Structure 1
Amino acid sequence: MTGSVLVSCRDAGRTYGSGPAAVVAVHDTNCHVHAHDRIAVMGSSGSGKSTLLHLMAGLERPTSGEVVWPWCADTTDAAGPGPGARARAKGIGVIFQSPSLIPTLDIAENTGLPLVLAGENAGRAHARALAALERVGVADLAAKLPDDISGGQAQRVAAARVLAARPRLVLADEPTGRLDRTTGGHVVDVLLAAVDEIGAALVVATHDPAVAERLRTRWTMRDGRLLLGPDAGAP
């Protein structure tokens, strides 16, 4: 164990649909992530990796069990009526497989947009965006448009957009899935260095063993079931 618990899944499951057509994406799962953890969640496409990360992020609600964020006053997201994810959103950043940059905004504007939407003034948001772009090594792209940069550069910008908010926990869903091996390795280098700098925990969903080997702890998703490694610190 490396620090306080940031998120716990307690018999948390996610099912889509009902009756004979129901699909169980994540079976009742127990796990937790500590501050400063470096966890790879491995598994093939459709194994439930992304859904697990979405539950941890509060992007999806469990249909059974609960997800708990002990550091947040709004602590629990359980099946059925309950609190939303707005409060904890300030402490969790999600990097998706697709950078999803807005084509009409330059790179600095894209990076700072979540801060502006959260109520930060434009000047401070811009300064924090530039600092985050510097942190991931693409500050020279600040004035460019998304169509003018490469896929690897766009994924670094996506990381900067999350890191600008200095979250406690970064969840990265196949961040190298659309990149070649060399470019993907560079993105992982940057991401690891950046979370070390801001002191965040990191959970990466990946099907790539080369990515998983870069993280201290490795979990596996198989048919919606989480298999924890011997060093996972499962409760």
Structure 2
Amino acid sequence: MPPRDHAIPAGKPVTSLDEVLVDCRNAALTFGRGATAVVAVHGANLWVRSADRLAIVGPSGSGKSSLLHLLAGLEQTTSGTVTWPALDGPGGIGIVFQGDSLIAALDVVENTALPLVLAGVPDGEAHRLAAEALALVDAADLAERLPEEISGGQAQRVAAARVLAQSPRLILADEPTGRLDHTTGGHVLDALLTAADQTGAALVVTTHDPAIAARLTTRLAMRGGRLLTVDEPQEAS
């Protein structure tokens, strides 16, 4: 069954605050076959709801990113199911990947607008939405810079803005602070939380940093590909 804090009691009407965006039931993911097979996720059960601020915590190799990829529809389950009851499939999901993801030849606003342009949004409207998203993450002043002209923390904020410009109902962020110092990582999480609050999106963040996880409402732990516990966050030191 899904973790208790992420289950909706039987018979309770679904509201805008507890609407289930992702229903993950006994979902497993295995890479390879036979003796060389590696089980990245073992039978995970999880509901992600529309008001969630959720951290998935664990060391490198614990299966956090693999689980996130299942939630995003980037990988298909080997067994079990992942469905998106309140979304148009995984299309209502925006993903902030770890590390560099900006196109070097495009400036910041062009990078932010690119997914919208590719989706058929007219250039002017795409750039307007991109500028609004950059303002949400306090990066409006970077609009005309190239990726090589901004810092790693700024690039992660731009990556977040690129997702936010698409107005997703669920934001999945895979170790968005993993390559950043503590202060810069805190600013990136500030941007994600603020943007999720302002756009009404749910937010799921994978992290190995307990201080980052402590700032989200609920924390799940992964070890060896298994989703182990649901913890209430503790204050960051």
TM-score (norm 2): 0.89
Confirm or deny: 8 A CA contact 2:220 2:231 kept in the other structure.
no
Shift of 1:99: 3.5
**1:61 aligned residue (76, 99, 103):** 76
- C-alpha separation between the residues in 2 aligned to 1:73 and 1:175? 25
Q: Residue type matched to 2:72 in 1? A: A
- Any unmatched runs of 5+ in structure 2? 1-5, 7-16
| 1:8 CA displacement | 1.0
* Counterparts in 2 of 1:73 and 1:144: CA distance versus 1, 3 Å: closer
Question: 1:70-149 counterparts in 2 under 5 A?
Answer: 70-72=85-87, 74=89, 88-89=90-91, 91-149=92-150
Q: Confirm or deny that 1:10 pairs with 2:25.
A: yes
Q: Give the aligned partner of residue 178 of structure 1.
A: 179
Amino acid at match of 2:38: V
Paired letter, 1:156: R
Does residue 22 (structure 1) correspond to residue 37 (structure 2)? The answer is yes
Q: 1:73 to 1:42 in 2, by over 3 A?
A: closer
User: Matched residues, percent identical?
Assistant: 62
Structure 1 unaligned residues grouped into runs of 5+:
75-87
The match for 2:48 is: 33
Pairing 1:42–2:62 present: no
Q: How large is the Cα RMSD of the aligned pairs?
A: 1.3
CA displacement at 1:3 relative to structure 2 = 1.4
Runs of 4+ in 1 over 6 A off after TM superposition: none
Deviation (angstroms), 1:231 = 6.0
Q: Are 1:152 and 2:133 counterparts?
A: no
CA, structure 1 residues 101+73, in 2 after alignment: closer, same or farther (shift >3 Å)?
closer
- Equivalents in 2 of 1:46, 1:38: separation in Å? 23
Q: How many residues align?
A: 218
C-alpha spacing 1:32/1:225, structure 2 compared with 1 (3 Å): same
Once the two structures are TM-superposed, the CA of residue 168 in structure 1 deviates from its matched residue by 0.4
Cα drift, residue 227 of structure 1? 1.5
- How many Å separate the matches in 2 of 1:161 and 1:140? 15
1:192 paired to 2:207: no
